[in-house]
Amino acid sequence: MKLKKKLLFSTILVFLCIFIINKRFAFSAQVFNSIGDGQSKVYVTGDIHGLLEVDRVLNIDFLGEDDYLIILGDFGLLWDGSLKESIALNKLNNKPFTTLFIDGNHENFNMLNSLPVESWNGGKVHRIRNKVLHLMRGEVFTINNKRYFTFGGGKSIDKERRIENISWWKEEIPSTEEMDNGIKNLEKCDYNVDYVLTHTTDVDNLYTIGDKLDFTPKEDELNLFLSKIKNKLTYNKWYFGHFHLDWQINQKDRAILEDIVQIGT
Ligand SMILES: [Zn+2]
């Protein structure tokens, strides 16, 4: 009789364990799904200039696993290939969110363009780390069912004080192929996107900023290209860096440096 009771007790114990384990797995799957189905948060910020201002991004504590932080050029963490840069990139990669960036004028384009090209969310990227991606020029990406047109690059006004292939790269100004790629991808979506992310801006904004900051602007081929596409483009918001200025120019266009802005605002 005693043996029968022991057997019964053991059987109940085994069934109880199986029940608890099943429940735990079911719970994990549910949490995973609910995170995956949720809308990601997307924030944008301006130039970080590599190690100089990377802490602005490393200090962000309000974005989670499914969220994105986009840097609007002068990312600068591919500059001299130093151990310090590598450590900073690893720290970025260890943040819960994914860091995306467009290129500015202060990037080492030899390093950037030597990376393999991958497809990601409808466009082309260079993957620097698992969760640190360069959004290439003239691409259209889809995040949260919203279209993002990206076009990096810009002219260095201090080019004369820089050394080619050490602190300045001619690829800062996009090639005809990159501009053609942008036009081809915009044609595919009938020039209709939700957000535009660039480093510099179009000619009109350039002159408006020149007035505000009291400098005499001189438009280059990239400003002219951006004006050309702006004339045809339907978009909700356009964010850009480069001018080291936080300023909402008008309802749609916003210059960003240190602000960390939720996309759409
Ligand atoms: Zn800058």
Residues 66-117: pLDDT tens digits? 999 999 999 999 999 999 999 999 999 999 999 999 999 999 999 999 999 9
pLDDT score at 191: 98
53 CA to centre of ligand 1 in angstroms: 11
pTM: 0.85
pLDDT score at 73: 98
pLDDT for residue 60 is more than 70: yes
158 CA to centre of ligand 1 in angstroms: 11
244 CA to centre of ligand 1 in angstroms: 6
pLDDT for residue 5 is more than 70: no
pLDDT score at 101: 98
24 CA to centre of ligand 1 in angstroms: 49
pLDDT score at 9: 58
Neighbour order of strands in the sheet with 139-143:
139-143, 146-151, 195-198, 237-240, 253-255, 247-248
Residue 238: Cβ-neighbour burial (10 angstroms; 0-12, 13-18, 19+):
buried
pLDDT score at 92: 98
- CA–CA separation, 9 and 28 (whole Å): 29
What is the band of 24 on the pLDDT scale with cuts at 50, 70, 90? very low
105 CA to centre of ligand 1 in angstroms: 7
pLDDT score at 34: 34
pLDDT score at 12: 58
199 CA to centre of ligand 1 in angstroms: 9
pLDDT score at 28: 38
| Contact predicate 241/257, CB 8 Å | yes
Average pLDDT over residues 230-256: 98
46 CA to centre of ligand 1 in angstroms: 8
pLDDT digits (tens, 9 = 90+) for 214-223: 999 999 999 9
243 CA to centre of ligand 1 in angstroms: 7
DSSP state letters, the chain = -HHHHHHHHHHHHHHHHHHHHHHHHHHHHHHHHHHHHSPPPEEEE---TGGGTTHHHHT--S--TT-EEEEES---SSSS--HHHHHHHHHHHTSSSEEEEE--SSS-HHHHHTSPEEEETTEEEEEEETTEEEEPTTEEEEETTEEEEEE-----TTGGGS-BTTTB-GGGSPPHHHHHHHHHHHHHTTTB-SEEEESS--HHHHHHHHHHHT------HHHHHHHHHHHH-B-SEEEE-SS---EE-SSSEEE-SS-EEETT-
72 CA to centre of ligand 1 in angstroms: 9
75 CA to centre of ligand 1 in angstroms: 8
What is the band of 262 on the pLDDT scale with cuts at 50, 70, 90? very high
- CA–CA separation, 147 and 192 (whole Å): 8
Mean pLDDT score of the chain:
90
3 CA to centre of ligand 1 in angstroms: 79
- CA distances in angstroms from 14 to 60, 144, 229, listed in the order given: 46, 45, 68
